[in-house]
A = this chain, B = another copy of it.
Amino acid sequence: MEGRSTMLDSRVRERCCSSFSKQAFMTTLDARLLSLELGSAVIEVPFNDKFTQQHGFLHGGVVTSVLDSACGYAALTTMELDSGVLTVELKINLIKPAAGSLFQAHGKVVRAGRTLIVCTGEVCAEGDERNVIAVMQATMMAVRERAGIKD
């Protein structure tokens, strides 16, 4: 974020938390927004055998979902207060099986444009930053909250 302070305006924080609490899927996953700074967000999700793939690890789609949300809220911290965020596209490499009891998804803004925000992110198992199981590069879009539809 190019040297800017990472202190977050309290209204921005409230908006992000309010939006996160409306993501029913995050609630269903028992995910929580662990930390939020200007241009970054961390979401934590526990292992749950209702969300596994065929080998008993957390499903790659769940890993993707949580990291997508972390990147989305990282992006939202850089937007105007009346904007909402939508994922334009994302790319993820699943580099290790999602083995463990707890996962942390770190999203970070690489470039905040007025309309498009480019983010990178990674998921670590057991809060161990050296145990990266997935990396993402994604494009987010600022939209008028009322509409909630990109075009």
Which residues of A are at the interface with B, using a C-beta cutoff of 8 A?
2-3, 19-20, 22-25, 28, 49-55, 59-62, 64-66, 68-69, 84, 86-97, 110-111, 113-116, 118, 120, 130, 132, 135-137, 139, 141, 148-151
Contacts and interface: CB of A to CB of B under 8 A. Distances in A.
Question: What is the count of identical protomers in the complex?
Answer: 4
Nearest to A20: B54
B94 A88 contact: yes
Chain A at the B interface: SS class? mixed
A115 B150 CA distance: 9
14 contacts: A24-B49, A24-B53, A55-B84, A59-B65, A61-B64, A65-B65, A88-B88, A89-B89, A89-B93, A91-B137, A111-B132, A118-B135, A120-B135, A135-B137
A141 B139 CA distance: 12
What 3 A-B pairs have minimum CB-CB distances, sorted nearest first?
A61-B65, A91-B91, A25-B59
A50 B62 CA distance: 14
A60 to B, nearest CB: 5
A81 to B, nearest CB: 15
A55 B147 CA distance: 9
Contact of A52 (B23, B52, B84, B97): B23
B88 A139 contact: yes
B139 A93 contact: yes
A87 B95 contact: no
